[in-house]
A and B are shown apart, each in its own frame.
Chain A
Amino acid sequence: MFKRHVLKELSSYLDNQLSDRKKFRVENHLQECKICSQELAKLEILSEKLKTWQVPALDTSFDNSLKNEIASWELEGGRFKMKKKTLTILIPSVALAGILVFLFIGQVYIKRGLQGNLREGFDNVGQEYVAKQLGPMHGDSSVISYAKKPSKGFEYMQYDKSDELPEIAKVESYNANVLDSRGFTAPTYSSRLSSTQVTGSMYAQTDQGSVIVIQPILPTTAEGEKIIRTAQIQLEVEDAKETYKKASEICQELGGYLAESKFYKDYEERQSGSITIRIPKDKFTTALDRLSALGKVESLNTTSQDVAQEYANLKSKLDATMIVYNKMLEALQKRQTTIPEAMRLESELTPILQRIETLKNQIELLNNAVAFTTVTLNFHESKVSVKTLKESIRFIRESILSTAINTVRFFASAIPIVVVGIAWLVFVVGIALFIRYWVKRFFKHG
């Protein structure tokens, strides 16, 4: 006998969805239980009544309309039109992503732009340089000076005739001495050389950026010929400090000497400098070869100045003056003169003697200029070097970090506003739903 009602099974029994065993059990129970039988009967009635709910059939034009849709779908290449819902999510998402990317790029750009302006300023701020003379460093011929752009940490260093590159030091204080356009006085040897240029610059650059250096065709100098040669080489190097050291070594190996050097770096840590060396005239070509090999040659200029005429004139003047001097000296020695007369003659000899010394000095300087050629090597580190790359990566990392921090700060500051806003929104929506519920209930019940 089945005492337990099978009300829960009746629905499945009605739909013939029970297993044979359960069906058998329900049927047995139904034979004896009036409650369950009545319930089943009600469910059967309900099911019959449900069938009476008729709904209209589809319009006959539906088939054609659907086929047209399929045809147009095929014509569109089988792509579903993007749903409005998708667009409503996609467009704000893309816009938000765009704003974030814009903010990030903007921040990077602003930072870069600022640095660019400062660098640009660095290139044109000769008048802005201020320097502090720190006194002799290497003997009496070495002078070190530092310059710093007042607003940013740009360091500049110059020293003369020194074989070693001193460590760059921080500027402790400034004075207001404004130097010339580059902040330095011109070297004395170059100011003495007049500019009669004989040969021009010679260099060529291939598409790939490699430089084929065309050595200047130098005029052959006969023994006794007086030609002053100068050269300027512009190099792009990987490591400016290393280039400076190698150039100094080349200078020493070739029997020359360092006339002047400048070395500086901007606050992006990109170093550059120039070095002026004096090389014996027979080592001039070798020096150009070896110095050009230190980096990528951007330009190579050579000039030659024939000073034979000037030398001959000076020599003639000296000879003539010497003859006058010798004759006057001889006359003075032979003649018996009184003391006042001797004093007068000596006073006349003094300017001649001074002139002779001046002429000798000028000839000596010319000899020196002819015997030693002047090579100026300007070098700077390449913008795209391993070091620059590392700096850029570091900069990007810092920018990302900075952006992340700013974003976190922004959201952190926005949290109270959002919380209060959500609270208000929940409150307002709650009130609205409550009112809506009561309005619906009011209209429903009367």
Chain B
Amino acid sequence: MQGLTDEEVMLEYKQGRIEAMDELLRRYKNPIYHFALRLGISVAEAEEITQEVFLRLHSNKDNYAPSGKFSCWIFSIAHNLCLDKLRKKKWQCLWPRKDDDSEELAEFPSPDPSPQEVASSNEISYILKDCIQSLPFLQREALILREYQNLDYQEIAKILKKSLGAVKTLIHRARINLKTKLTPYIEELRGG
């Protein structure tokens, strides 16, 4: 199973081989989970999204036709679910529900840095996270798909349902914005 391409594994799963799901999970559960997390979705929600992606994959396996890349298909599902979740979150942020205390706390953290934050404030990953989260959603998503999922521009365009030129622009702007934001923190970026 390991020597097969993603499309072939999916076709195997379509034909009823349960092991194919294990292989798909091995290959894609963490990329999707990380994709959701890096987009700014909480751990619990990212896990929920990952589960939902695989549930949809299972429910739509009969309709699957290997017309495009499998990674495109699965990330398209993840993209749609993340978009839904963030939209919902946006409204919840404006009108937080009383029963979502935990989410409320997550959305409105204390202005004082927590001990963990203080400890990690110097770490570049914390700064990176903060800067990436401050990017516009599409720029953020395009950049994450490129940098962390290693998808080419054509695939990103399909996932985001944008033109190739638009994706190029999104990634370029994301990098410029990120460079500007990170310049105060990264010595190497200051030179020039």
Contacts and interface: CB of A to CB of B under 8 A. Distances in A.
Interface of A: 8, 10-12, 15, 17, 38, 42-43, 45-47, 49-59, 62-63, 65-67, 69-70, 73, 78, 80, 85, 433, 443-444
22 contacts: A15-B171, A42-B191, A45-B188, A46-B182, A47-B147, A50-B178, A51-B147, A52-B125, A52-B128, A53-B132, A55-B33, A55-B34, A58-B29, A58-B30, A62-B25, A66-B51, A67-B21, A69-B55, A70-B21, A73-B55, A73-B59, A85-B88
Contact of B55 (A50, A56, A66): A66
Contacts of B43: 56
Interface in B20-48: 21-22, 25, 29-30, 33-34, 37-38, 43, 47
A8 B172 contact: yes
Contacts of B188: 42, 45
Contact of B186 (A38, A49, A54, A80): A49
B53 to A, nearest CB: 10
- From DSSP, what is the main secondary structure of chain A's interface residues? helix
A437 to B, nearest CB: 12
Given A12-B172, A38-B191, A70-B58, A443 B125 contact: no
Contacts of B47: 58-59, 62
Contacts of B68: none
A45 B128 contact: no
A59 B153 CA distance: 31
B38 A55 contact: yes
* 9 closest A-B pairs by CB: A443-B111, A11-B172, A53-B128, A53-B125, A45-B188, A17-B153, A55-B37, A50-B147, A58-B33
B189 A70 contact: no
B146 interface: yes
Contacts of A11: 168, 171-172, 175
B129 interface: yes
Contacts, number: 101
Nearest to B51: A66
Given A51-B147, A55-B37, A45 B189 contact: yes
B50 A58 contact: yes
B186 A45 contact: yes
B51 A62 contact: yes
Given A15-B171, A53-B38, A62 B50 contact: yes
B59 A49 contact: no
Contacts of B152: 15, 17
B192 interface: yes
A59 B125 CA distance: 21
A80 B52 CA distance: 10
B75 interface: no
A102 B191 CA distance: 73
B175 A46 contact: yes
B188 to A, nearest CB: 5
A11 B179 CA distance: 12
A66 B152 CA distance: 29
Contacts of B58: 70, 73
